[in-house]
Every structure is written in C-alpha cells, then in structure tokens.
Amino acid sequence: MNHPMTPPMPAVIDEPGLGRVQAWPLPTDENTLWMLVKDIFQGHWRDIHFGTLVPGTVWEIRAPNAPVNIGLLDGYLTVNFGAWHFHLCIGHFSGTTPEQAAQRRTGRAEFYRVLGNDDAPKSWGVRMFTAAGDQQMTVFLPNPFLNDEGRLAAEPDWSKLAAWDELRLAYLDLPPDPLDRSGCGLVCGG
C-alpha cells in the first residue's frame, strides 16, 4: 500500500536500555494502522517476533500460525491466531469517556532501527504507543545478524531485511538504505 506522502525525517534519540534509536514517524489514523498491522501479520508472520520492549521487560512472541482473522470493531483491531489473540486500540472506542478513549488510541507509530556504536543499524522494527505514551506493541523484524533460531549468525544474511525494505517502501516511500547493510553484527541482543 503506497501512501502518497513526503517521507518524514527520522529522529535520532537515546533510549534507556536500547541506546541510539533512529525512528520514522507513521500516520496514526485508523486506516493506516489497520493496513500496516494486516501487512505485517498476514505477510510476515513466519519471520517476526512481537510483544513489548520497555526497560526491564522484553516479550518476543512468535506467531504459532498465520492469523485466522484480523478484524476491527469499535476502534479495536484484533489479530486472532485461533488458540489466542490480541487487541490494539487504533481508532475511536465508544465503550468509555471520550477522554479515556483518546488516551487508549495509538498516538504514535513508527519504524525504527537501533544503531550500534559504529552508527550502523543492528536491529529493525515497528512500534506503536498509546496517546498516553504507553507502549502498545513492538514488532521485531527479521535481523540479518541472527539465525532462524535467534542465535548470532556466523555471517550476516542481508536477505532478512526484505520485510524492513518492503514495509518502508510501502508506508514511507523510502527505498532500501545502504546503511542497513553496513553493520558487522550484534554486540548484545536487541
């Protein structure tokens, strides 16, 4: 889904527990977030991990199978894997006060990459936060420095950046960035 827009400039911020993070903001309207989550979970479910990434806690969940349904009802997006599911408030929710509903909704969404000490990327993903600033979800995109078992790879596998490249092109109109293929590996997880 190509969005006709001028790609936003990335911000570089120091984040506790992550280090230097370069982030590209995304629109937070219900339709964009609905399409983004569908693209990620329908097209890349085999290759991603997802959960939360906050100081002190990282949940890296793998989907057991393709989603059996991705639905939207009363502002809540649901990704259902059959045995379990999750919900994200991405639009107007009528089940509470307008003020509370506004705080639950996604207020910030972004593509991000974590930069190493050499300023080369070492981790790639998508994050969503509520308007109140609470993290809703992090999607950990495939990492060329990790093998399929999540251990350090002997050599980088740059083909693992395909999801990153595809999603950035679709949502930010940005082509592959040579900087993404300039790193020499992970010093630590993340």
| Residue 155 belongs to some domain of the structure | yes
Nearest to 64 by CA among 80, 81, 48: 81
pLDDT digits (tens, 9 = 90+) for 115-149: 999 999 999 999 999 999 999 999 999 999 999 88
pTM, full prediction: 0.91
| Beta bridge partner(s), residue 82 | none
| Residue 4 belongs to some domain of the structure | no
Q: Tell me which residue range forms the domain holding 152.
A: 11-179
| Residue 110 belongs to some domain of the structure | yes
CA gap 57, 37 in Å, rounded: 22
pLDDT band, very low/low/confident/very high, at 187 (cuts 50, 70, 90): low
| Residue 185 belongs to some domain of the structure | no
Number of domains into which the chain is organized: 1
- E strand spans, the chain: 11-15, 19-26, 49-51, 53-54, 57-58, 69-73, 76-80, 85-89, 106-115, 121-130, 135-140
| Residue 5 belongs to some domain of the structure | no
| Residue 85 belongs to some domain of the structure | yes
Summary mean pLDDT of the chain: 92
pLDDT digits (tens, 9 = 90+) for 39-93: 999 999 999 999 999 888 999 999 999 999 999 999 999 999 999 999 999 999 9
pLDDT of residue 190: 43
| Residue 189 belongs to some domain of the structure | no
Q: What is the CATH number for 138?
A: 3.40.1570
| Residue 108 belongs to some domain of the structure | yes
